[in-house]
Structure 1
Amino acid sequence: MTFSGALQVTVLTLACAGTPCAGAPFSGERALAHTRKVVAFGPRPPGSPAIRKLQSHILAELKTSGAQVSTDEFTASTPVGPVAMKNLIARWPGKSGRAVVFSGHYDTKSMPGIPFVGANDGGSSTGFLLEMARALAARPRVDDVYLVWFDGEEAFGPWSATDGIYGSRHLAARWAREGTLGRLKALINVDMIGDRRLGLLKDANSTPWLRELVWATAARLGYGNYFLAGEAGYVDDHEPFLKLGVSALALIDFDYGPGNSYWHTPHDTMDKLSAQSFEVVGTVLLEVLKTLEARR
């Protein structure tokens, strides 16, 4: 992802007195545990043996979710040559003919010689979506709900229009050809949402009504200290869908460590993450899903 113009924020306390809320349908502890397993695979750049092992792990986890599972495989032209990539897609059918998508990337940036395990950047979105799969399996559905794990979000060199967000660019184009995009009510992409000092700024590039719906829902649930009033501009996996007319939103905390100093460094490790942060985001998005399903 890329970023412009963030506000420095002091994040306060969670509404449930510092512990995950009892009986919450989305478990931050489970999401954190999933993320720990993801990080144990080590660095996971596209095309690597580690990401292939992670792909198998995610697909195995989804077998018990009741979802229709598919893959979107392609070879990307990158600055380091052709790289095989694979988006992972889980779909829970509804009855309305419309659909909602939650997405995130599961690759880590290729940093040869640096032990970059991407606990927050790549790991948290992966673990979050795995727990979301469990939560979705337990609830009735009006719309189709998709979870998508994007490959190739990270650029191999300096970020550019042709280097980065490979998986989302490929799937958006494919779904446009197939007619799937026309059924989408909304796509919400999560990235770097596990930071124990979570502070989400409004993405100025995202669809305004969807952004305001998410922030209003967070405020109503008592999580306004996490969904902040400031704005920033992000380029992430939501962008290819926005360009094709889909209502889309990026949820990302790009203030990770003092001066964002943990981002793309060996310091992006599990000790920087919190189950509370996962649970706040998951609880809000499940509530947002209810509202989206009520829209026609």
Structure 2
Amino acid sequence: MSTAYCDLRGLRGHILYLCLGLLLLLIPGEAYEKLSDDRLKALPRPSQDFDIHTGALFSPILQPRVPGTPGHTAVLEHFASFFRTTLPQWEIEFQNSTAKTPISHGKDVPFINFIAYRDPPGASKGDVGRLTLVAHYDSKLEPEGFIGAIDSAAPCAMIMHAMRSIDSALDKKWAAMKEQGMDLLEEHHGIQVLFLDGEEAFKEWSTTDSLYGARALAEHWDTQMNPAMSTFKTPLSSISLFVLLDLLGSKNPNIQSYYPTTHWAYQSLGSLEKRLRSLGKLKSPPAEPWFIDTSKDSHQVMAFGGIQDDHLPFLARGVEILHLIDFAPFKGFPSVWHTADDDAEHLDMDTVKDWSVLMTAFAAEWMELEEYLDHQDNVRREGELEESEAIRLNKKTEL
């Protein structure tokens, strides 16, 4: 993560973003169904599997994850195992690339992006627009032993929890549609997870020493064609909304809105935070609301800047971006950012779990799951999945 801002200067860039801001007033957003209070109350919070020492979901990510090291490989295997065993209906892909770094002495370093997605049964990949939840999973080379708990182990765990929490509701929704004789091919909403590699600089942040995985994937998806007659020409154009989570897990986060065309989604998250707090679902007492720009109109959101992060190669290709990063005006990033203190012990676990619930709610609203979320199903499923995750982790430890 760089402290520098993305500078989108030039007449062409200004005209583009002014036009996008105006279009926002004319073009409705994606289908989006708000959850009732009862459904919000039913959302599960992370429990034992988020324990930073023994939790089967979270603790395996809390280790150094520099590309090309054993820790990096172990975390990638953890992601794959989680989706294969806990969410078997999801498709998994890996996107591989190589690049030279300032410290690789002319040798290529491998980077592996992890991709998981779930579409309506029978739907063609090219006909489904996907809500895309994103975090990077690599960690910095320095300081030595750097964990990167907020940057970005915790965001990865938040996304995993959210996907697990809505998975059975997706089953119910699509089964109900089939039973009612509805054509599932007309259900154009899918969901996707990207855990991107090589976000961190190896030496000093620059346009070439950073965002290795994001740059490779954006370019690949921009040139990979879907079958003829598909609704979406490329995998890149099928991203309905690119939601990037970064530097999350410290107390009292400050989340700004950076792009007018996705300000409605930002406001939806702000509304969800407020409602979840009023219902007692969030446990971290905030100094102020997390989403500090909620009261702004879209035309008040400045589109000419933004923090340099994995979204940039996608933004440059026209993808709609919602950047969820903790950055306070006049204060900067969380105090542990890029220091040895960015470890598990410095996380605020109530905040980590609150983010997990919030992202679950946002994904459930996007996927229109109001009728299909059930509290007892979630309680039972969470218990079963936590038990299976613990067994899986124990087996790996024994090996």
TM-score when scaled to structure 1? 0.81
Pick aligned residue for 1:190 from 245, 248, 265: 245
Distance 2:151 2:47 in 1: 17
- Mark the CA change 1:174 to 1:198 in structure 2 (over 3 Å): closer, same or farther: farther
- Mark the CA change 1:244 to 1:259 in structure 2 (over 3 Å): closer, same or farther: closer
Range with greater deviation from structure 2 (214-223 or 115-124): 214-223
Pick aligned residue for 1:91 from 112, 117, 120: 117
- Mark the CA change 1:105 to 1:117 in structure 2 (over 3 Å): closer, same or farther: same
1:204 aligns with 2:248: no
Residue 325 of structure 2 aligns with an amino acid whose one-letter code is I
Q: What is the CA deviation profile of residues 30-86 of structure 1, one whole-angstrom value per residue up to 9, with x for unaligned ones?
A: 4453332211xx321111121012111221111121211111111122212321110
| Aligned 8 A contact 1:199 1:228 in 2 | no
1:122 CA drift (Å): 2.4
Distance 1:51 1:259 in 2: 25
Q: Any gaps of 5 or more consecutive residues in structure 1?
A: 6-20
Distance 1:146 1:285 in 2: 13
1:26 CA drift (Å): 4.8
| Aligned 8 A contact 1:205 1:234 in 2 | no
Residue 319 of structure 2 aligns with an amino acid whose one-letter code is V
1:14 match: none
Pick aligned residue for 2:99 from 76, 85, 94: 76
- SS of the counterpart of 2:307? strand
Q: What percent identity do the matched residue pairs reach?
A: 26
1:13 match: none
Q: 1:12-27 counterparts in 2 under 5 A?
A: 23-27=42-46
Distance 2:45 2:157 in 1: 12
1:147 match: 193
Distance 1:128 1:275 in 2: 11
- Mark the CA change 1:62 to 1:242 in structure 2 (over 3 Å): closer, same or farther: same
- SS of the counterpart of 2:3? strand
| Aligned 8 A contact 1:28 1:277 in 2 | no
| Aligned 8 A contact 2:130 2:238 in 1 | yes
2:206 match: 160
1:228 match: 292
Pick aligned residue for 1:249 from 315, 322, 345: 322
**Structure with max Cα Rg:** 2
1:134 aligns with 2:208: no
Q: What is the CA deviation profile of residues 71-128 of structure 1, one whole-angstrom value per residue up to 9, with x for unaligned ones?
A: 111112221232111011111113572111001011101116x221112212112222
- SS of the counterpart of 1:189? strand
1:205 CA drift (Å): 5.2
Residue 350 of structure 2 aligns with an amino acid whose one-letter code is Q
Range with greater deviation from structure 2 (202-211 or 100-109): 202-211
TM-score when scaled to structure 2? 0.62
Distance 1:259 1:168 in 2: 21
| Aligned 8 A contact 1:125 1:192 in 2 | yes
RMSD of aligned C-alpha atoms? 2.8
Q: What is the CA deviation profile of residues 197-221 of structure 1, one whole-angstrom value per residue up to 9, with x for unaligned ones?
A: 1313214257434333333333343
- SS of the counterpart of 2:252? coil
| Aligned 8 A contact 1:88 1:148 in 2 | yes
Q: Which has the higher helix share?
A: 2
2:64 match: 43
- SS of the counterpart of 1:234? coil
- Mark the CA change 1:238 to 1:72 in structure 2 (over 3 Å): closer, same or farther: same
| Aligned 8 A contact 2:129 2:239 in 1 | yes
| Aligned 8 A contact 2:64 2:147 in 1 | yes
| Aligned 8 A contact 1:31 1:130 in 2 | no
Distance 1:183 1:259 in 2: 32
2:153 match: 123
2:76 match: 55
Pick aligned residue for 1:214 from 253, 259, 269: 269
2:132 match: 101
| Aligned 8 A contact 2:72 2:138 in 1 | yes
| Aligned 8 A contact 1:35 1:119 in 2 | no
1:111 aligns with 2:142: yes
- Mark the CA change 1:188 to 1:267 in structure 2 (over 3 Å): closer, same or farther: same
| Aligned 8 A contact 1:152 1:165 in 2 | yes
Range with greater deviation from structure 2 (209-218 or 94-103): 209-218
